[in-house]
Amino acid sequence: MAGAVEPCADGCLDLPGATDACASDAVEPCFNDPDGSYCGGSIGASARRDDLYVCVGRRTARIDACASGCDDRAGGTDACRAADPCARATFGNGADCGAGLGGDAAVLYNCQGGRTASQARCERGCEAQPPGVADRCAAAPTTGRCCLLRPPGSFVRGFSACGRGGSHYGIDSGAGLGTALVAGISGTVVGVATGHPNCPYNVSAGTCPSSCVNQFNYVKIRSDCGDPSDGGRDLYVYYLHVDRLAAGIGNGVHVNQGDPIAYVGNSGCSSGPHVHLEIVPVARGASAFLNTCTSVDPASRYCS
């Protein structure tokens, strides 16, 4: 006895090991696509989203499983996404050279939570450091003097902490919003933060809500020449309350004395546009922190 007959407007698909069916993208993912490679999420309804389908003659020639997802590109050139090098970071968050992660050996990766938050190409190579110390881009030969340029603008408030009668650990210099801020000394950018708005400042109390006192944009530089007063020590230079970073500035980037690094802002606990300059000399390889008596008066390292 004859079975039912179903006309197939676009032809019939001979499916090995399965019931044959009329041609459609619900049955054959590559049915409506020219030859090429396609992520499953961009073709037929029957395709698996994160698989890569190689289409030949409107048929699936091969399916590749993409462990890290599929990159949807134009013109049949989709490809499996490369594994994130930071997935191999074994020492937690921080800066890691690509060579130790199976990534690009000339790239410094900022790894956060097993993912690449940002990356910078190291023109002179990437230098791996001991466990617990952030890797870094190799520094360019030091240019400029081993002393600190004064920040732009007018003096507002001086260093008064650590036995000097107050609790201000740097120097504040007032300048117009957006004034260019340059590196006071040649070195490597080892810390940045952006995205923090101005914090409501209580003039009578002279402070801000505790929830945002330490939420400011900043740039942190490690000096090439060390501490101008003791070349055997490292010197870290902080610029706080900036508005935004200069083009190309990020962790691992080397800057020469006088290079633009940021723009004067009013971010964080601030009563008006200014830059807070703080410097911290420490033993070679030691970490630096703000607002401790390791900080010293920046004026003591100014260029004469």
Segments forming the whole domain that contains residue 58: 12-80
CA 264, distance to chain mean position in Å, is 21
Pairwise CA distance, residues 52 & 47, whole Å: 9
Percent of the chain's residues with pLDDT above 70: 89
Pairwise CA distance, residues 294 & 169, whole Å: 9
User: What confidence category does residue 273 fall into, taking pLDDT thresholds of 50, 70 and 90?
Assistant: very high
Whole-number pLDDT of residue 141: 59
User: What confidence category does residue 169 fall into, taking pLDDT thresholds of 50, 70 and 90?
Assistant: very high
Same domain, 133 and 270: no
Record the tokens describing residue 95, joined without a space: 């800066």
Same domain, 160 and 276: yes
Pairwise CA distance, residues 14 & 21, whole Å: 7
Same domain, 292 and 192: yes
Strand partners, 155: 173
Q: Please check whether residue 146 lies inside any domain of the structure.
A: no
User: What confidence category does residue 59 fall into, taking pLDDT thresholds of 50, 70 and 90?
Assistant: confident
Same domain, 34 and 117: no
| CA neighbor of 33 nearest in space, from 71, 59, 72, 64 | 59
Q: Are strands 198-199 and 268-269 parallel, antiparallel or unpaired?
A: parallel
Q: Give the CATH number for residue 162.
A: 2.70.70.10
CA 163, 165, 156, 194 torsion: positive or negative?
Answer: positive
Same domain, 41 and 112: no
pLDDT, mean over the chain: 87
Same domain, 165 and 100: no
Same domain, 119 and 30: no
Same domain, 162 and 286: yes
Same domain, 98 and 47: no
Give all strands (DSSP E) within 3-50, no chain letters: 12-13, 21-22, 36-39
Q: Please check whether residue 178 lies inside any domain of the structure.
A: yes
Whole-number pLDDT of residue 153: 94
Question: Which of 6-15, 72-81, 284-293 is the most confident on average?
Answer: 284-293
Residue 24 has pLDDT above 70, yes or no: no
Q: Is the pTM of this model over 0.85?
A: no
Whole-number pLDDT of residue 103: 84
Q: Please check whether residue 240 lies inside any domain of the structure.
A: yes
Residue located via tokens 């309804």: 45
